[in-house]
Amino acid sequence: MEFPKHLKVAAVKVWPYYIYNDPKNISDFSGIEGELLKLLAEKLKFQYTLLLPTDGQQFGFKDASGNWTGVKGMATRGEVDMTVAHLHISEDVFQLAEMSAPYYDDHKTFASDLPRPLPKYTVLVRPFAVYVWIAIIICFTLIPLIFHFLTLCTQRGYKNLSEEDDGVGRSKHKAPNTAKGILDGFFLVSDTLLRFIYTSVILSVLTVEHKGDVIRTSERLAPLLDSRKYKCMLLKGNVIPNILMRSNLKHLRTIGSVIKSYHDTYIPKEYQMKPFGEKRVVIGSKLLFKIMHGSTKFISDDSLDVASKGIYLKKGFCCMDRFNTVLLRIVSAGLYEKFINDVAFPQQVRISFSLTYPEAVTKLDLNALSGIFFILIMGYVSSILLLFLEIAHNRWRKKTKKFK
């Protein structure tokens, strides 16, 4: 059967899938899916009329009454012949529309703002982990006290044996000093090693900017969303909540049920050079995040879902085999990846110009050493206060003895 000469094609108004050069003229477009549509039309030799959804939705979803909205609704109702809009192949739509062969596997993940740099005073504790600091505090406080107590007990034992003296008031028996010598020796060795290790590590810590923690996995994200400590943003009409709610994993079902009723709308263009906001994450396409934000956002490596993308066609479309053959040839030739790179490159250039890059050799300034100077000043202040207290205490004791 001859391929149709003219097709009605449903599209979305979502960057980077469709980029409209003139908002008033939707026939002048580019973008990832836009270029795919142009190439399909060229190879299959058909003309097309581009149509946008009129219900305010974009990709579309199944509403409470069981009707599809957006471009999915246009495809299932037979209003268009083809829908090229980076749609995932869904079992729910199989009975209402034809599906092309999958041409891209899209991973769903989450992104957030990059973590903020840690305060400079934390550089003093960064060289060692928490458990190492606890061990050091125990070793340098509790153990010397125990050894000191044992030394006192030993000296008291020998005091009972030294009742005799040598005629000039000196004891014939002298308490051994072995325990104290061993303690002092180990203390000096440990102190020297710790000083060497600490000073070596702190220099590297000072020259590297350390940043706070960031949510990296969906297991950590789920309880934060459930407790409303974090809030999620989604593309309008995104069906990811419904997909997650059907997952076999409990934490993914939790995320899906929370974001279905508690989320804000994510508009990619508004957040190109703008932070998402504190304690906010965006759940969506990993491809979209990499193109849109690049290295300016943290993009998790955790996959919430993997969706195969396909083109929706009108139920009973005549030439599925020929259409799939041309589509798979385009994909296997790497042309779809080229469309992605063509859109991503200008965005990456804009991002690179907006970033500031540090010098190759970093000099330690006063800001980097502020924590050390703060501790030093606090030590001096404490020493002066103790000096005044000792002077006052000494004078008080002298006055007390004078009155006696």
Predicted confidence at residue 104, as pLDDT, reads 94
In the numeric block, the tokens 């995040």 are attached to 289
Q: What is the pLDDT of residue 158?
A: 53
pLDDT at 392: 87
Helix (H) or strand (E) holding 255, with range, is helix 250-261
The residue with tokens 């990296």 is 216
Q: Is there a cis peptide before residue 223, judged by omega within 30 degrees of 0?
A: no
Measured distance CA(224)–CA(234) in Å, rounded: 17
In 3D space, the residue among 342, 240, 340 whose CA is nearest the CA of residue 284 turns out to be 240
**8 A C-beta contact, residue 18 and residue 7:** no
For residue 364, what pLDDT is reported?
62
- Asked if 260 contacts 254 with a C-beta cutoff of 8 angstroms, the reply is no
The dihedral through the CA atoms of 14, 17, 18, 21 has a sign that is: positive
Measured CA to CA, the distance from residue 95 to residue 397 in angstroms comes to 97
CA-CA distance, 204 to 402, in Å (whole number)? 58
pLDDT, position 156: 62
Identity (one letter) of the amino acid at 280?
A: R
3-state class (DSSP) for residue 253: helix
Half-sphere exposure (Cβ direction) of 212: Cα atoms closer than 13 Å: 12
Give the Cα separation of 84 and 146 in Å (integer). Answer: 77
- Separation of alpha carbons 313 and 93, rounded Å: 11
Q: Vertex 238, ends 30 and 328: CA angle to 5°? A: 50
Domain ranges of the chain: 6-103+310-333, 127-160+176-209, 218-305
How far apart are alpha carbons 4 and 237 in whole angstroms? 31
DSSP-derived secondary structure letter, 295: G
Rounded CA-CA distance 186/34 in Å is 73
DSSP 8-class letter at 124: G
C-alpha span between 124 and 121 (Å, rounded)? 6
From the list 201, 205, 239, 215, the residue with the least C-alpha distance to 85 is 239
What pLDDT is stored for residue 191 in this prediction? 73
What averages of pLDDT result for each successive group of 10 residues across the chain (404 residues)? 90 88 86 94 94 87 84 90 90 84 93 82 73 79 71 61 50 54 71 76 69 87 93 83 90 92 84 85 90 87 90 90 94 94 85 64 64 77 88 83 66
Residue 75 in contact with residue 7, Cβ under 8 Å?
no
Fold of 6-103+310-333: D-Maltodextrin-Binding Protein; domain 2 (3.40.190)
Residue 359's pLDDT is what?
A: 56
Three-state secondary-structure class, residue 180: helix
| C-alpha of 356 from chain center | 20
Task: Check residue 363 and give its pLDDT.
Answer: 65
**At 49, is the secondary structure helix, strand, or coil?**
strand
Residue with tokens 């003139």: 22
**Phi and psi of 113, rounded to 5°?**
-65, 155
pLDDT score at 35: 95
